[in-house]
Amino acid sequence: MSSQTQERIARELGIDRQWGRGDEAAEIARRVDFIQQVLRESGGKTLVLGISGGVDSLTAGRLCQLAVEQMRGAGHDARFIAMRLPYRSQADERDAQASLDFIRPDSVSTCNIADSVDGLMNQVRIDGLQPSAELTDFAKSNVKARARMLAQYAVANFSNGLVVGTDHGAEALMGFFTKFGDGACDLAPLSGLTKTQVRALAEALGAPGHLVHKAPTADLEELAPGKLDETAYGCSYAEIDAYLMGEPVSDAVRQLIETAYHRTAHKRALPRTPA
């Protein structure tokens, strides 16, 4: 039996527990319509999204491409720019390229963020402060995420566009995104979905199975390359999704999830201001 806290959090994150297998086509259409509405209302002409090789950016990217193709069919000037944003080289570059092959974006822009990240990290100094290797790696991982968003907003500015985010319900629940990094965007078409639902949409869109079911990793930490999301969480996506869907989870998982949700509340909120 789900707790009141579990129910409240699911409502706050906009989790839709009603749709399941067989409802993917309607959900895809609804989210494509959402993307089109936001772009039209903004007066913009492009959508910009970084493609990492994971299922989230793959799904959001295909939805964006479908949205702009439909808009062009209706006489609107719209296009989708997919961005590759590696730091030096990327271990799963093959998956990123496979994602692009599936999405078939109107155009691809590549920006290697290494120079900007390394340059900033080399300039950051505080007298008397000697951060540990672990803290330095943590800070640099966030700088990488923020550099990627800076690049996407630059391209969006060049092209009168909007930046698309890939945050969904499971990541929002755990606060598993960089504040003002991958958490910064103009629209988030996967919002309210569990990881299971994101994968279901990807399958319905026809994405390759090895990308749909790939073990997710942010791959930002140099001291722990390829660290899996679930390792960082301390629980599985299946358990996170179960919590969001109001299904039973162990007391240990419930406590871990709710602690993460409350600890990362500042990431989901606007900046605090004086009362």
Domain of 44: which CATH number? 3.40.50.620
Q: pTM for this structure?
A: 0.96
Q: What is the pLDDT, as a whole number, of residue 77?
A: 96
- Taking the C-alpha atoms of residue 218 and residue 166, their distance in angstroms, rounded to an integer, is 12
Residue 93 bears catalytic tag: no
Q: Are strands 46-50 and 79-84 parallel, antiparallel or unpaired?
A: parallel
Q: What pLDDT is stored for residue 19 in this prediction? A: 81
Residue 247 in domain: no
Q: Are strands 79-84 and 161-163 parallel, antiparallel or unpaired?
A: unpaired
Profile the chain (275 residues) by mean pLDDT over runs of 10 residues: 88 91 94 98 98 98 98 98 97 97 98 98 89 95 98 98 98 97 97 97 98 95 94 96 97 97 96 91
Q: How far apart are CA 64 and CA 79, in angstroms?
A: 9
Residue 237 lies in a domain: no
Active site residue 221: no
Please give the pLDDT value at position 1: 55
Tell me if 114 is assigned to some domain: yes
From first CA to last CA, the distance across the chain in angstroms is 38
Structural domain count of the chain: 1
Whether 264 is in a domain gets the answer: no
In a domain, 272, yes or no: no
Residue of 56, 95, 167, 239 with catalytic role? 56
Give the angle subtended at the CA of 180 by the CAs of 179 and 186, to the nearest 5°: 120
Full domain range(s) for residue 162: 15-230
Domain-embedded: residue 100: yes
Query: Which position among 171, 182, 186, 229 bears the catalytic label?
Result: 171
d(CA 85, CA 206): 24
Q: Tell me 75's DSSP state.
A: T
Question: Is 5 inside a domain boundary?
Answer: no
In a domain, 9, yes or no: no
